[in-house]
């Protein structure tokens, strides 16, 4: 992702993700690449940092667990989770399924208790939701993260094994 910079103020508005973020394209840079969407989520050019070369995902709440992405994990290790959101009518949830095989194959070992993130105070402000974590149960090799949100734009989603940051 190339930042969009104001040459007079030397301020860039695009945010480069941490190299430790296990999610690919958690900033929805130009598309929903690396995410699977089954229902009505869609790419939207609205970006939390106002970057013209990035975007977000919009979910109207008609489909649960949408979009979804699989990533490798280590059982017993703590992972940090967060995102940015705009609008919404009733908050949303980040959901995880833990799998015994690579690439989210084999049997589901467990489904994590959903992480609830709140409802932004208005429909024009992006709000950061950080401070969440999860620990995969014994036998887990991979996990999937899915979103269930109601009329919200979501951006800068991360699963990071070392820090609370996108």
Looking up residue 104, the CATH number of its domain turns out to be 2.60.120.260
Domain for residue 35, yes or no? yes
CA distance 25 to 27: 5
The pLDDT of 55-72, averaged and rounded, is 86
Indicate whether 121 pLDDT > 70. no
Judge whether residue 40 has pLDDT over 90. no
Domain, as residue range, for 130: 5-160
Q: Is pLDDT at 5 greater than 70 in this prediction?
A: no
Of 17-21, 87-91, 152-156, the one with minimum mean pLDDT is: 87-91
Q: What is the mean pLDDT of residues 148-161?
A: 90
List beta partners, residue 143. 71, 98
CA-to-CA separations, 46 to 50, 78, 104, in angstroms, rounded: 7, 31, 30
Does a structural domain hold residue 45? yes
In the structure encoding, which two tokens stand for residue 19, read together?
């190299």
d(CA 116, CA 74): 23
Neighbour-count burial of 105, counting CB atoms closer than 10 A to its CB (0-12 exposed, 13-18 middle, 19+ buried): exposed
Residue 165 covered by a domain: no
Give the total number of structural domains in the chain.
1
Average pLDDT value for residue range 23-45 = 85
Vertex 97 angle, CA 115 and 17, to 5°:
65
Lowest mean pLDDT among 15-19, 75-79, 141-145, 150-154: 15-19
What are the E-state strand segments in the chain?
5-6, 11-12, 42-44, 56-59, 68-72, 79-87, 92-99, 108-111, 115-117, 127-134, 142-149, 152-160
Which pLDDT value is given to residue 152? 85
Residue 11 reports pLDDT greater than 60: no
Q: Where would I find the H helices in the chain?
A: none
Write the CA distances from 51 to 11, 16, 32, 126, 166, integer angstroms. Answer: 12, 11, 16, 13, 16
What's the pLDDT score for residue 148? 85
- In a domain, residue 166? The reply is no
């Amino acid at each position: 992702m190339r930042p969009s910079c104001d040459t007079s103020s030397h301020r860039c508005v695009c945010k480069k993700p941490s190299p430790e973020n296990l999610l690919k394209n958690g900033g929805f840079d130009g598309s929903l690449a690396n995410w699977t969407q089954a229902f009505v989520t869609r790419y939207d050019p609205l970006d939390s940092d106002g970057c013209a070369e990035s975007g977000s995902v919009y979910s109207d709440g008609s489909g649960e667990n949408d979009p979804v992405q699989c990533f490798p994990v280590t059982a017993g290790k703590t992972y940090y989770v967060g995102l940015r959101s705009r609008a919404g009518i009733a908050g949303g949830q980040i959901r995880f399924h833990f799998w015994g095989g690579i690439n989210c194959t084999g049997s589901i070992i467990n489904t994590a208790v959903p992480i609830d993130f709140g409802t932004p105070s208005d429909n024009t402000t992006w709000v950061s939701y950080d401070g969440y974590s999860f620990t995969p149960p014994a036998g887990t090799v991979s996990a999937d993260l899915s979103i269930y949100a109601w009329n919200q734009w979501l951006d800068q989603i991360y699963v990071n094994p070392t820090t609370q940051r996108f």
